[in-house]
Amino acid sequence: MTLAFAAPTAVTLPLHTVPQDRLAAFLAGAGAGHARWLTATGFEAALGEVRLLPGPDGSVAGAIVGRGTHIARRRQRFGMAKAVAALPALDWHLEGGLDLPERTEAALGWLLAGYRFDRYRPGRKPATLPRLRCPVGVDAARVLAMAEGEFLTRDLINTPALDMGPGELEAAFIALAERFGAKSSVVRGEDLITRNFPMIHAVGRASPRAPRLLEMRWGTSGPRLTLVGKGVCFDTGGLDLKPSSGMQLMKKDMGGAATVMGLAQMIMALTLPLRLRVLIPAVENSVAGNAQRPKDILTSRKGLTVEVNNTDAEGRLVLADALAYACEEEMDALVSMATLTGAARVAVGPDLAPYYCDEPGMVSALEAGAVAGFDPVWRMPFHDAYESVIEPGIADLDNAPGFGFAGSVTAALFLRRFVNTGRYLHFDIYGHVPTDLPARPKGGAGQGARAVLEALPAMLGV
């Protein structure tokens, strides 16, 4: 899918952007014909409401899109992106006195609204969409990189597990590395044992699709940033089998890996001056005679022992080995992303990306980045009082404590035991949009990637 703005030299039509409280003023200056037309068609300037404006010869002379009320804009990101589906496939430019953040949101939303996942509908004619001239002051390269990275994430999550197992995720990972001249390596199957990644192997060994650890390195100078993404390509729950309803969305259980790959693409496309390392434990959590069992005790790469009290709490196991491996090298920031717990969704719903971090500078940078990237996040606590909950007594750690509360917090505390840097940021994302929203169709979605990208200047000085 090729993303582009209209050429700067293209002849474009005006797309007027009008908030509800300015509609009367707009009508007064719109000319009698257009004012009568808008009034007759009941145009109220609701957020995303669109009307085409006819020219004297009956051609399209322009269009108007409502910006709604201030409350409506706070409640819904990318509301004006509804215009993309309503406009003819012509070239457009924005009118209406938008400030730079509003222009940036409009440009990004326009691009994101063009996403289509048609891999399994080969006979469907590709949609021809309207194009927007990049608004004045908007960094076109940055916005394009954000949208293209998000499209990669969406494609990976939306692809069924039949066609997106550990091997296919590896192929996509290597293709991404090769595109940007990054170095990649893979540890597969039984080599995970000899290379000391025992928990990645334990989770994935029951599948005929071998587990693996994917690694990418890019950049030769600047601060060191390491990204770790959970790549559970399908999660049956293992021997603690999920009900069928619980498996319906489990193709998205590699959403952390997909989001990390989308973020890595953004960073490399923008040639940010840093040294990037990406780690993805890619596995399928299946059922077979050699599957890990409840009450098994695993010895992790770090040497900590883990009692497996639920084989469906597998994501933290594979991440633990990857995080321990990441921390064997110096770095300036460590970010992990995972579709880790249902408890996070209960806490904040599907629209927010909950994160954990105790480093004040990283927190402030991320909060500002979330606003700049139109990518909302919500800070959760590494609550030390719950540390004892993840200590079962028979082993160092419990992967699924029977506490009954704070499931996302205890999972984050578990991961923190494998990290030796205070500059650690962990996201417990959902990776899915349950219903169609402006610029975010139902299906796979990245969360937190744009917030991290926009935080990097303050977080790492790049």
Q: What is the pLDDT of residues 210-251, one digit of tens each?
A: 999 999 999 999 999 999 999 999 999 999 999 999 999 999
DSSP assignment string, 376-425: -EEEE---GGGGGGG--SSSSEESS-TT-S-HHHHHHHHHHTT---S-EE
Which of 72, 146, 70, 66 lies closest to 105, judged by CA?
A: 146
Which of 221, 236, 228, 211 lies closest to 273, judged by CA?
A: 221
Region 417-438: mean pLDDT is: 97
pLDDT value, residue 123: 87
pLDDT value, residue 92: 98
pLDDT value, residue 125: 85
Tokens of residue 102, six digits:
């509003």
Helices 449-460 and 360-372 pack at an angle, to 10 degrees, of: 130
Report the catalytic residues.
242, 316
pLDDT value, residue 108: 98
Predicted TM-score (pTM) of this structure: 0.97
pLDDT value, residue 2: 77
CA distances (Å), 161 to each of 166, 251, 364, in order? 9, 5, 37
Q: Looking at the predicted structure, is the pLDDT value of residue 393 above 70?
A: yes
Q: Looking at the predicted structure, is the pLDDT value of residue 146 above 70?
A: yes
Sign of CA dihedral 338, 344, 346, 351: negative
Pick 180 or 56 by higher pLDDT: 180
Is residue 40 very low, low, confident or very high in pLDDT (cuts 50, 70, 90)? Answer: very high
Region 132-136: mean pLDDT is: 97
Could you give all domains of the chain from N- to C-terminal order, each with its CATH number? 13-138 (3.40.220.10), 142-460 (3.40.630.10)
Q: What is the pLDDT of residues 160-180, one digit of tens each?
A: 999 999 999 999 999 999 999
Is residue 126 very low, low, confident or very high in pLDDT (cuts 50, 70, 90)? Answer: confident
> Residue 256 and residue 253: Cα distance in Å, rounded?
7
As a whole number, the mean pLDDT across the chain is: 97
Region 280-285: mean pLDDT is: 98
Q: What is the pLDDT of residues 323-362, one digit of tens each?
A: 999 999 999 999 999 999 999 999 999 999 999 999 999 9
pLDDT value, residue 1: 65
